Copies of this chain bind each other. A is one copy, B any other.
Amino acid sequence: MRPHLSISRRTRRTPFSSRVEAAGASGYTVYNHTLLATSFRGIEVDYWHLCENVQVWDVSCEKQVTLMGPGANQLAQYMTPRDLTDTKVGRCYYLPMCDEKGKMMNDAVAIKVNDRHWRLSVADSDVLLWAKGLAVGFGLDVEVREPDIFPLAVQGPKAEELMCRVFGDEIKQLGFFAIAPFIYNGQRMKVARSGMSKQTGYEVFVNDANIGTQLWDELFAKGQDLDVRAGCPNLIERIESGLLSFGSDMDHETSPFEIGLEKYVNLDANIDSLSLPALRAYTPSKKLIGLVLEYHRSLNDLDVFVGNKKVGVISSQAYSPKYMRRLAFFMCDLEALNGATEVEVNTAQGRATGTLASLPFNFEALGLTACR
């Protein structure tokens, strides 16, 4: 039996919650103290629809933490080992956010609004408190806030078409991870080409709850012939795309080197980042690795073995109907793995062999082709 979720004021509703309910959300989680749907018609039906059409997602749970003031750049740089020196206004940047020990506090998408204003779209931890603590402690001249902004994502291959119908053709000029202001119903809102899927996608940073529900309704009215549906970040699509989830695939004990984020760590940069000294001295002994299992195998538990030696634990997994394989991420003890390329897991039908894969999955290299 699937458990019921008790909703209270503490599990915050959003301006779109009534629309999400009316659209038939069948499962929820709580993310940044806020309701987030996890499925509508079932994650497999939702998945195919997302891959082939367009969906509107209430991702208000992607809380926006703003750093404003003369100290904003300094605070942003303290919090990440990624070099922000040459960052540009109007761009999004994926940031590992690390503490002074080089461990992950969050992974955020940061928007440089101007030279004194950064905005962080944060994963599931209270970055507000971390940023405020640092600002107060270091005595920085920066205001740290969580304003009432409610991101609404439009995702899927027909997202561009739908967004053009509502916001105009200028939306086509928005490159990947670019962000620009658009006017909707007289209200200026930022729109970014981004989102928690590898499909084409946009995020509208709704800053007025009433206009937000009008926007939701207009997206549905204008997208009827595109079969627009309410959706949500989809587990299957996330795993196939190799997108990590803070809290599942990493936590406050994880180094960015262990989860493939080295390209966002500028070890040689001459910057004031809290985590760089620790990261420079760190040699990871674990790594998040992909795992491909025959499709008919469902797992009894999440342990991964080489022979009788446990080498890791699966952190996220889903059955991919497109490749007809079960795909997983697991945190692997590299010494225990000792160069093995195959591992074993416990399934309902006994031990099964799995193939290791680098992340993100390269299906062609794995010899897998999409079934549709």
Chain B min CB distance to A130 (Å): 4
Contact code string A316-353 (vs B, CB < 8 Å = 1, else 0):
10000000000000000000000000000000000000
The segment from A50-58, A132-140, A222-230 found at the interface with B is: A132-140
Chain B min CB distance to A3 (Å): 5
Contact of A129 among B10, B105, B248 (CB under 8 A): B105
Chain B min CB distance to A355 (Å): 22
A90 CB within 8 Å of chain B: no
Contact of A135 among B11, B30, B137 (CB under 8 A): B137
Which residues of chain B have C-beta atoms less than 8 A from A137's C-beta? Answer: 133-139
A7 CB within 8 Å of chain B: yes
Copies in the complex: 2
A60 CB within 8 Å of chain B: no
Contact of A132 among B28, B99, B136, B316 (CB under 8 A): B99
Q: Which of A8, A27, A125 counts the most B-chain CB atoms under 10 A from its CB? A: A8
Known: A129-B125, A133-B132. A28 touches B10 (CB 8 A): no
How far is B124's CA from A9's CA once the two chains are assembled, in angstroms? 12
Indicate if the CB atoms of B6 and A4 lie closer than 8 Å. Answer: no
Chain B min CB distance to A230 (Å): 14
Contact of A252 among B11, B139, B146 (CB under 8 A): B146
A274 CB within 8 Å of chain B: yes
Indicate if the CB atoms of A30 and B11 lie closer than 8 Å. Answer: yes
Contact code string A24-60 (vs B, CB < 8 Å = 1, else 0):
0111111101000011000000000000000000000
Indicate if the CB atoms of A252 and B128 lie closer than 8 Å. Answer: yes
Which residues of chain B have C-beta atoms less than 8 A from A247's C-beta? Answer: 8-10, 33
A169 CB within 8 Å of chain B: no
Count of interface residues, chain A, beta-carbon cutoff 8 Å: 48
Which residues of chain B have C-beta atoms less than 8 A from A25's C-beta? Answer: 3
How far is B8's CA from A105's CA once the two chains are assembled, in angstroms? 19
How far is B31's CA from A3's CA once the two chains are assembled, in angstroms? 15
How far is B134's CA from A316's CA once the two chains are assembled, in angstroms? 33
Of all chain B residues, the one with the shortest Cβ separation from A130 is B129
Chain B min CB distance to A218 (Å): 26
Which residues of chain B have C-beta atoms less than 8 A from A7's C-beta? Answer: 3
How far is B247's CA from A105's CA once the two chains are assembled, in angstroms? 21
- Please name 19 further chain A to chain B contacts, defined as beta carbons within 8 Å, in addition to the given A3-B5, A5-B5, sorted by A numbering: A3-B25, A3-B27, A3-B28, A6-B28, A8-B316, A9-B248, A9-B316, A10-B245, A126-B126, A127-B129, A129-B129, A129-B133, A130-B133, A133-B133, A133-B134, A134-B137, A136-B137, A136-B274, A146-B252
Q: What are 17 A-B contacts with C-beta separation under 8 Å?
A: A2-B4, A3-B26, A5-B27, A6-B27, A6-B38, A6-B39, A9-B248, A11-B30, A33-B124, A33-B125, A105-B129, A126-B130, A130-B132, A133-B134, A133-B137, A136-B274, A137-B137
Q: Please provide the 5 A-B residue pairs with the shortest distance between their CB atoms, ordered closest to farther.
A: A137-B137, A133-B133, A10-B247, A126-B126, A5-B5
